[in-house]
Structure 1
């Protein structure tokens, strides 16, 4: 849709003669004083969404020029790509109706398809003549995505000693996983051609599964999966609050035609879910940026408040990823994202926070159960920022003391000048980003975020985007894929003890010892340890096999000997191998201390499943 907006002292038109495309009209014309005239051409691709956006444009201009009368004037000469007459009339009537619904303007519309004479007196001030081209967001996104694809990347390896090496000249012989990551990044092949190991694990362990009644990329989480997810959510949230972030909550949907948000969507496209409202269309958020930035723009912030950190755990964020890229927990359309934004005074403070959050992310992943050797680091940066901040960038690689991938651009296309990612490379050689931090140099201006400096002047801050762990579901994916690598290396696959749904399983050798097993379980449970009892009518061998299949960290078999000696024979999964089980005799207190040591500093939640296995449902 093409618009020409004229703020006029008056507009007078006289209807002369109808064309074969004319709508019914019995009047002769009219004169309107103090009016915003909207010359309008409806185009082939236009739809209701375009009309909504056109309404917003007209409202914004009308408010700026302080006018309460609007005339919609069909004007075919604005476009060579006109819609047919039926569509043109329909959308013009909708345009008129949408403006009337606001109860803010006196709305007029001249008839479509008639020859007309008109006189107009333009006021001549800077806002009195404006033109607008209105497109659907999908068209904007498509064009932006194509532009993004054309951005040329230069690839390097930055060594711990600070040497920047073109990837063709780097020796990957001792860095095979880094080589796989580099190949994946450059090839940009995201489609799934095989099912990764974690998908089998997530189903067999009754963690999560596909939900056929929902859209692709939306999972169901069984009690064990919900527990794991909840523990991770709680842990990352506590770490961010401990770091100094203020926890907030913001809406999951926003107006597609909100002036600021629309510009953001056009500039940085993502594939959104759209919800049709009664009067407005909304998109489901794909990050917490929108809500936190709008909140920050309304806040009074001074230099004394900086750096100001705001945090939200989004459950959920939504991104309509391409169907061929969706698989298991690795890439979803609905995901849980710990999202922290930091408002900083200047670039020096931004760099200091970036470095601190880099260290925070390393610590968070390590505490979760993912060590630096489990992931590869990528830094994405503009060339001029790198040249001006070499020492700072080199300080990042020095922390982990291993080579990292550098993606460099001659020009800045994105809103950030610097970004790091910790990427997990799975069994299929696919990489997925976990932790990330970015230095944003655009959105303070876009959202109108200011702070009052020491001299009393208002200034624009730099903003950091940080997810200290990455999406919670993707962390679960990485832990399950890591378990697969453990198995490939001759170890027994397992989750960290603090995340294991059942941490201790008690298996009585017969029904005779069930009460004794329950007594032990109750003692252990009082110490905030998740424990269950296998009371099923199965052989002892099968119960032990099933416990191993469920990756239970500590398996305790109790019988006559254990009851007499008041000791436990504990099979410790972490110290066992595929060839040999590690069994240790210990007291209950020793077992409790062992489990507590494994879970030190981590949140605890009870498993919402019956303690007796015979009373549990089977979900998969």
Structure 2
């Protein structure tokens, strides 16, 4: 007998194996008709997957967001079948084709290159499969059968090698002439697809490894309704207009030079102004909240990262360098580069820091600490470097070198809740100043972790209690914590609803243990402090990338690299324009004077493209009345103003960060 527990706690029993459809039919005929799949013991399965043991089930329909994974994975298979039809069944080798948060992709090894223009041809072939309502069918096979079926496909045979001996091997058929190595989930038949679109083509190394062959990846998306697809495509168009890489070039904010290294950011003067303004605000807020500014080195001995655990859990993302001490260097000769294997063995190994935590810990350990010293709050703008695969790099949003507004709080256990509340309040202030919406997630213990289960439970509960006290809604994301502790991650929503990684708060009982951190308590005994890792913005690079796209390049006045441009209507009024320009500069306004020859219309269009918040236009009327004609990028033509009134307006706007 199999016992199935429903979400309301009620139970159904079955003799022998059952299915999602059979279970749904026992609940309601309408649910049987609309069931797309289910979560069985937490795993997403489809209606094809047999249920052979007791467990908990939650049936999903098209109304559930999780059903999109089933739909999109299925459309990826429809794409793969279409590609084989168009380019030759025996000529196409299949990589992988998973669903993603935004849609799906499939990787192909093809005899010819696919261009964006070819996508419409593939879409037409996919429509034929959909119109024919070709069915998906699950089949369990033996390893020997699988190896025979995929003997001519090196990618599938490699995937087969990674499947353990006791794991089931399944293929999914689509119609009678296409099958793929796959766990699922899939829809019942292709006719259920009502709205899909192929979006782009890109190169992708097999299994993300640059040592492997470059395959062709086709990206697409799918929704249950055409209206939802249209809305998504509209958001994509908006995203293109807001692309921070395009706007970064247009507004002369930053560059990434391949000759200097992928993923390394160079801030131009305009971008440096934005960064400086943000950093100054952040630093003042830290001072108000009792943080002490510190600085730590960019490289530290590798042994330090072994103590912290980063070497064991994070070394594939770290940069290591052999450093020969001075006396050894003299023996080896300063010109001997690169070092030989023997010389490397004698060298000391250093790591370019991927995080700032160990440096802050060493400063804490530099002297005995008393319970009266705690909480101790350290903060730095810490520049770190992490190895990211070249295919994952993306402008400011995914880089190899970035700066964090990184802070660590060392406190007594009885102070932990108040410290988390203090960080939450700071984060809410940040989000308010930049007028950002957000979603809060709590990441719990991952599969690989350090520390005791008891410490993890204590830390996780402290985060939950703080969020509840502030009345903040949150989601639990199982297994998403750092290897050393649970965390609050706050995803920032931009103007078109996309989520970006932002502030984070992490409670850590483990690094204090590994580094033997102590303080002397009231009773004279040595105790272990609790450590809170927190970044208010996260990566400054990513945060500015987010702001560029959120504001579509039109920054609030206090952040704008050029706040006001003064435009004389002709050369006759340059002297008056210079007078207005000086008055703006005297009160600290970042102003420019456009005194180049040319028509006013051209100068206005240039200022529009540069997204300068205010244009001040002066001519005969303004000179005679000692006024300025003001145009706001946001509000349009504001008419004539006395200079003093205009200064009051913009200085108030800057002060209040409107």
Same fold flag (TM > 0.5): yes
1:440 is aligned, of 492, 505, 508, to 508
Residue 523 of structure 1, aligned match among 583, 587, 592: 583
**Residue deviations 1:80-108, cap 9 Å, x none?**
xxxxxxxxxxxxxxxxxxxxxxxxxxxxx
Q: Distance in 1 between matches of 2:388 and 2:565?
A: 40
**How far apart in 2 are the matches of 1:595 and 1:320?**
43
2:306–2:312 CA contact under 8 A, matched in 1: no
Distance apart, 1:244 and its partner CA:
0.6
In the TM superposition, residue 419 of structure 1 has moved relative to its aligned partner by 2.6
Q: Which runs of 5+ in 2 are unaligned?
A: 1-40, 45-57, 69-98, 107-203, 209-216, 220-235, 325-346, 446-452
Q: Could you tell me how far apart the structure 2 residues matched to 1:170 and 1:454 are?
A: 60
1:583 and 1:600, CA in 2 relative to 1: closer, same or farther beyond 3 A? Answer: same
Q: Distance in 1 between matches of 2:64 and 2:554?
A: 30
Q: Distance in 2 between matches of 1:167 and 1:480?
A: 41
| Structure-2 separation of matches of 1:573 and 1:357 | 35
Alpha carbons of structure 1 residues 571 and 394: separation in structure 2 relative to 1, 3 Å: farther
Look up the match of 1:573.
633
* Alignment-derived partner of residue 441 in structure 2: 378
Query: Is residue 349 from structure 1 mapped to residue 415 from structure 2 by the alignment?
Result: yes
Aligned counterparts, 1:295-444, within 5 A:
295-314=363-382, 316-346=383-413, 348-367=414-433, 369-372=434-437, 375-382=438-445, 393=464, 396=467, 399=470, 404-409=474-479, 414-424=483-493, 431-444=499-512
SS in 2 for 1:335: strand
Residue equivalent to 2:250:
204
Distance in 1 (alpha carbons) for counterparts of 2:404 and 2:42:
27
Cα separation, partners in 2 of 1:564 and 1:202, compared to 1, 3 Å? same
Alpha-carbon contact 2:308-2:358 (below 8 Å) kept? no
Q: Are residue 213 (structure 1) and residue 259 (structure 2) matched?
A: yes
Distance in 2 separating the partners of 1:225 and 1:589: 29
* CA 388–542 in structure 1, closer or farther in 2 if over 3 Å, else same: closer
Match of 2:614 among 554, 571, 582: 554
Question: Given that residues 245 and 395 in structure 2 are in contact (C-alpha distance below 8 angstroms), is that contact kept between their aligned partners in structure 1?
Answer: yes
1:463-509 C-alpha deviation (Å, 9 max, x unpaired): 0011111111111111111123xxxxxxxx51111110111110000
SS at match of 1:582: strand
Match among 556, 562, 570 for residue 496 of structure 1: 556
**Structure 2: distance between partners of 1:357 and 1:391:** 13
Q: Tell me, in whole angstroms, the C-alpha distance in 1 between the residues paired with 2:633 and 2:604.
A: 12
Kept in 2: contact 1:273–1:319 (CA 8 A) = yes
Aligned residue pair count: 416
Query: Does structure 1 conserve the Cα–Cα contact (< 8 Å) formed by 2:459 and 2:485?
Result: no
Q: CA deviation at 1:296?
A: 1.1
**Secondary structure at the counterpart of residue 497 of structure 1:** coil
Question: Secondary structure in 2 aligned to 1:555?
Answer: strand
Instruction: State whether residues 417 and 441 of structure 1, in contact with CA within 8 Å, keep that contact through their aligned partners in structure 2.
Output: no
Q: Aligned residue for 1:47?
A: none
Measured in 1, the distance between the counterparts of 2:620 and 2:605 equals 21
Match of 1:583 among 638, 641, 651: 638
Following the alignment from structure 1 to structure 2, what is the Cα–Cα distance between the partners of residues 462 and 259? 19
More displaced 10-residue stretch of structure 1: 251-260 or 417-426: 417-426
Structure 1 residues 169 and 463: alpha-carbon distance in aligned structure 2, compared to 1, 3 A threshold: farther
Q: 1:391 to 1:456 in 2, by over 3 A?
A: closer
Match of 1:514 among 568, 574, 596: 574
Secondary structure at 1:561's aligned position in 2?
helix
Q: Quick check: 1:153–1:407 contact (8 Å CA) kept in 2?
A: no
How far 1:381 sits from its partner (Å)?
2.7
Q: Is the 8 A contact 1:507 1:556 kept in 2?
A: yes
Q: Deviation at 1:256?
A: 1.3
Which secondary structure does the structure 1 equivalent of 2:634 belong to? Answer: helix
Give the deviation of 1:571 after TM superposition.
0.8
Q: CA deviation at 1:397?
A: 6.2
Cα shift at 1:297? 1.9
Q: Match of 1:328, SS?
A: coil
Secondary structure at 1:275's aligned position in 2? strand
Residue in 1 that maps onto 2:151: none
- Aligned-residue offset at 1:270: 5.5
Q: Give distance in 2, aligned partners of 1:233 and 1:188.
A: 39
Q: What's the secondary structure of 1:599's corresponding residue?
A: helix
Deviates more, 1:504-513 or 1:582-591: 582-591
How many angstroms apart in 2 are the aligned matches of 1:208 and 1:584?
A: 34
Higher relative contact order (CA 8 A, sep 6+): 1
Q: Partner of 1:534 in structure 2?
A: 594
Q: Distance in 1 between matches of 2:584 and 2:59?
A: 54
Residue 243 of structure 1 corresponds to 289
Give how far 1:335 is off.
0.6
Structure 1 residue 597, shift from structure 2 partner: 1.5
Does structure 1 residue 254 correspond to structure 2 residue 292? no
CA distance in 2, matches of 1:187, 1:225: 35
Change over 3 Å in CA distance of 1:187–1:304 after alignment to 2: farther
- Cα deviation for residue 267 of structure 1 reads 3.6
Is the contact made by 1:239 and 1:364 (CA closer than 8 Å) also made in structure 2? no
Please say if residues 264 and 399 of structure 2, whose CA atoms lie closer than 8 Å, have aligned partners that are also in contact: yes
Alignment RMSD (CA, Å): 3.7
TM-score (norm 2): 0.57
Give me the whole-angstrom Cα distance separating, in 1, the residues matched to 2:104 and 2:477: 13
Shift of 1:204: 0.6
Identify if the C-alpha distance between structure 1 residues 237 and 186 changes in structure 2 by more than 3 Å, giving closer, same or farther.
Answer: farther
1:387–1:263 Cα change, 3 Å:
closer
- The answer (yes or no) to whether the contact 2:436–2:492 under 8 Å persists in 1 is no
How far off is 1:394 after superposition?
6.4
TM-score by length of 1: 0.61
Q: Distance in 2 between matches of 1:497 and 1:469?
A: 20
- Asked whether 1:291 is paired with 2:359, we answer yes
Task: Select 2:320's aligned residue among 274, 278, 281.
Answer: 274
Bigger shift: residues 249-258 or 502-511: 249-258
Give, in angstroms, the shift of residue 409 of structure 1: 3.7
